[in-house]
Structure 1
Amino acid sequence: MSQQTTNAIDVRNAVKRYGDFTALKTISLSIHDNEFFTLLGPSGCGKTTLLRMIAGFEDVTEGEIFLYGEEIENLPPNKRPVNTVFQNYALFPHMNVMENVGFGLEMLGKSKSEARKRAGEILELVQLTQFANRKPSQLSGGQQQRVALARALAPQPKVLLLDEPLSALDLKLRKAMQLELKHLQRETGITFIFVTHDQEEALTMSDRIAVMSAGELQQLGKARDIYERPRNMFVADFIGETNLLEVTMDEVREGRALCHLGGGHALTCDAVDEVKPGAKVHMSVRPERLFLSEKAVEDESLAATVKENVFVGTDITTIVTLKDGPEFSIRTSNSERGNRRIFETGNDVFVNMEYGAARLLVD
């Protein structure tokens, strides 16, 4: 194995076609060693196809895939130091937990005693030691998922691929397992490549995220960077909630773009090299980066009227309409401590924006 690289996986100009249909369109990305990396996107975007190409279950039509510096696209799946956890877990119903976890080790040539010893160690890691003698049918969904993880981790693969493994779990258990997966990744030091369509799941667990759409890579970066600085309208709209505003970029002064939107309202934000003066583009503003006031508190305060308040548990979302302009969604924490005032329907208000909240998008 090459010692010259810190990347677990390098995908270079990879294309996947099924007849006339192109599922992946020239994807290039690198996944670092000991990283929790997520492929995120809606159904049909190509994320699972890319995962299966790394696993060896799908051929690469064009391009190359490297694992720790070595080309692997012609290597059969059973020869790759990679394991996969599937959505349906695929446990052997006639075997108990210990046997399920040890089975793959025995297939790799380990003796029964070696396999049992390693299986015991990994069951302790996933906190299932007390269930070693139970059959999968005697376990909850979350426990079955842990068994599938233990079985995949037992041979100590260099890379673990996870294809939406949490989607069958209920919300509360899914959130608990998100934290547990991240903990397992840190404990084992194995590179995890996780596929999901759930934005919150990706933001919670990932060191970096690749956002995909229609077979193309839309943006690659750390979770906070993608959320705070989305590159285009798809990423801004897909990752969390946002206000998408049609604006015209008028000019740039000292790195700040001066823009106007409907009703003659003006806003400034960081300039983007690809957006030139005169361009009609979109601006993204996250609802939690806005606040309302009774009087204008800054030059760019926007006059508006409250349309409605929506209670969503942890937050209150207020919808306002600008005078002769678009609607804004503002999210306020549902907490008395430091909580901003909630205005009633029909109140005249001003919309204020935190510095750096607005982001010009490359449509």
Structure 2
Amino acid sequence: MSPFPELTESDVLRFQFSSCIRSTILRPLSQDFLEFLHSEGVHIPEGSDDLPSQLSDEEDSEDVDSDDEGRRFAFPLLDAQIRECIKTYGAVFPKLNFSSPKDASWILPASSPLKCTSPADVYMLLKSSDFITHDITPASVFDGCAGSADAHPYELELVLRKWYPVDRSRELRCFVRQNTLLGMSQRDTNYYDFLNDPPTRAGIIASVRDFWETNIRPKWETPQDYTFDILLTRDLARGHIVDFNPYAPRTDPLLFTYDDLDVLRLRPDDERTPELRVIDSRAHPLATSNAPANQHNMIPFEALSLSSGRDIDEFAEAWKDGIEESLDS
């Protein structure tokens, strides 16, 4: 049997954030918003950062110069929806249908990564992210699926969740194949001593398996193969779901390989205790070094001149000031 199940378009749509986790979903998104995501450069729409907009609420951004390089965008209705959500939650964390802009977390203060308190913060994260490009077109969303890419309608969505600080040491990615929990992997690639304590490890395995058997397995319909990310509570006894993803090459297996997981699938039933993999020493080959995560996407050329001599909070403020100045020019 292949290490990967056949993935259909309907399977993929099952993993949209709006399909499996309760959140605030903003849709439909305008064609202008899609063009904004495709446009060159990192800039924010007018009026999204509580600055006076040169466009009235009645004007459509299609009436503005259509040349991408000099085009200004404005989304007053979407701004209002985002602001209402921020008013309700206090702060939000944005996603599109499947992907979060976590590779762009550097653009907001490191003390509160991905914490958005204005529409401008949401737009900056999305515009600075490579990860979210996967969600923009049906061709990329359904890449590798059986059947035609036009068989199922696909609509871009902006997902807003209540922001909260996350202790990355308690995040795990868990792998389910043929309705069997095979293993779980530490998501963060730092070394944490407590994760290597044998009684703690046994407790984590038991907590995750109990959570899966109680809250996911009886409610999940199809497909039978999937991954889920879970954030455990401080006492490591409970948890809540962060995300679901397909059991497919597009989902990072982290400290496993999919061949490893296939070996676990073939074990006898009486040996099928899920395996927990963590960074077991600071010398682990995958342990985080001084290089930041997602560094390939961190610094656009125009940001280099702002970064010299500044810490991340100072740089983020200078970056936002530069964008605001460009809007006034």
Q: Pick the TM interval, shorter chain.
A: under 0.3
Identify, as 1 or 2, the structure richer in strand: 1
Q: Which fold has the larger relative contact order, with Cα–Cα distance below 8 Å and residues 6 or more apart in sequence? A: 2
TM-score (norm 2): 0.28
When Rg is computed on C-alpha atoms for both structures, the one with the higher figure is 1
Q: Which has the higher helix share?
A: 2
